[in-house]
């Protein structure tokens, strides 16, 4: 299994374990401390557990080698996992919003002051986790891991909102008991928006949209830097899992023999893979150079 995939899986596993502990702690604290914002935060952590599991599975499937059934590989499993994570976020946000509205309409006890300590710890842990997972996503170029990092960040945001809401309820006293419910409602809107934002790049990958110029242009320059290549055209790059697949047309001397053109295409492939190591395959179509 490639090192990048292993790093991604370890990242998902770390998030899964941490979220399991945090979900239990927040749920118990929320129930005992009469803090619905904290219970909503626990629901977010449970969603994080499912998300990390899905990302883990998606990366393992995406790492499989191509076979007769899937000659282009299993790379689409990675952005598909990211889409599922996004949908989980949106679903969790909807459930939290509905419950928060019901709690706002129903009188209840003010939250306990000690729940603020739990939230402070959760905010710090989730912020650090989000930064670490985001760094992994950036290094290996994983859409699913990036979605997981956003999920951790949204958990930190909901904890911050809960902290503010409970603080208002405690300072305001009688009549302000629902402040933490309003905080949960606010947090649900943030979670839902994060889910939508995360889904867009994953859908782009599923639809084979060209990646950013930072990936495409080095591929073009590498091909055109090879001696004997007179022009390139019809360059197409698509993301496949944690890597890329490239197709392009290369124009060369019309008098070149078929054997020499074949050798040149191999040199072009090597140059592209050296310049952009995440390129997994290159298909080169050789053409005679046309000055017109």
pLDDT in tens, 154-185: 778 777 877 887 788 778 776 676 777 787 78
Cα separations in angstroms, 77 against 8, 58, 73, 104, 195 = 14, 5, 10, 40, 18
Q: Kindly compute the dihedral angle of the four CA atoms of residues 258, 259, 263, 268, in this order, to the nearest 10 degrees.
A: 0
Single residue among 206, 226, 259 that ends a domain in this structure: 206
Range 285-290 average pLDDT: 89
Tell whether 14 and 153 lie within a shared domain. yes
Say if residue 197 is in the same domain as residue 146. yes
Q: How far apart are the first and last CA of the chain?
A: 47
Same domain, 218 and 202: no
pLDDT tens digits along 73-119: 888 888 888 888 888 888 878 887 887 788 777 766 667 778 788 88
Q: Among residues 166, 168, 170, 193, which one has the least CA distance to residue 40?
A: 166
Is 220 within 8 Å of 253 (Cβ atoms)?
no
Choose among 156, 177, 179, 211: nearest CA to 41. Answer: 156
Q: The domain spanning residue 146 has which CATH number?
A: 1.20.1510.10
Final residue of a structural domain among 178, 206, 234:
206
Range of the domain at 278: 213-288
Pairing of strands 243-252, 279-288: parallel
If asked whether residues 201 and 226 sit together in one domain, one would say no
225 plus 135 within the same structural domain: no
Which two three-digit tokens encode residue 191? 């979670």
Q: Which of 152, 187, 206 is the last residue of a domain?
A: 206
> Can you give the pLDDT at residue 110?
67
Residues 157 and 31 in one domain: yes
pTM of the model: 0.72
Total structural domains in the chain? Answer: 2
C-beta separation of 180 from 165 below 8 A: yes
- The reply to whether 40 and 75 lie within a common domain is yes
Flag whether pLDDT at 61 surpasses 60: yes
**Same domain, yes or no, for 45 and 180?**
yes
178 and 109 in a common domain: yes
């Amino acid at each position: 299994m490639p090192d990048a995939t292993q790093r991604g899986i370890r990242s998902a596993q770390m998030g899964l374990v941490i979220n399991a502990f945090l979900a239990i702690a927040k749920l118990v604290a929320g129930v005992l401390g009469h803090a619905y914002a904290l219970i909503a935060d626990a629901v977010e952590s449970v969603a994080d557990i499912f998300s990390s599991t899905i990302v883990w599975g998606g990366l393992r499937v995406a790492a499989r080698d191509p076979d007769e059934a899937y000659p282009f590989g299993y790379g689409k499993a990675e952005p598909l996992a990211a889409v599922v994570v996004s949908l989980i976020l949106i679903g969790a946000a909807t459930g939290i919003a509905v419950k928060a509205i019901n709690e706002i309409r129903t009188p209840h006890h003010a939250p306990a002051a000690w729940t603020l300590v739990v939230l402070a710890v959760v905010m710090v842990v989730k912020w650090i986790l989000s930064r670490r997972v985001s760094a992994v996503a950036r290094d290996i170029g994983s859409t699913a891991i990036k979605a997981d990092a956003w999920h951790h960040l949204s958990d930190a945001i909901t904890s911050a909102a809960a902290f503010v809401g409970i603080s208002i309820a405690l300072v305001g006293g009688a009549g302000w008991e629902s402040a933490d419910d309003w905080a949960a409602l606010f947090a649900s809107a943030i979670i839902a928006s994060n889910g939508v934002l995360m889904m867009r790049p994953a859908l782009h990958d599923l639809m084979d949209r060209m990646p950013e110029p930072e990936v495409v242009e080095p591929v073009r320059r590498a091909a055109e830097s090879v001696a004997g290549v007179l022009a390139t055209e019809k360059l197409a790059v698509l993301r496949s899992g944690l890597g890329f697949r490239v197709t392009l047309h290369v124009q060369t001397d019309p008098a070149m023999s078929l054997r020499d053109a074949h050798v040149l295409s191999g040199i072009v492939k090597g140059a592209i893979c050296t310049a952009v190591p995440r390129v997994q395959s290159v298909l080169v179509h050789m053409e005679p150079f046309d000055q017109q």
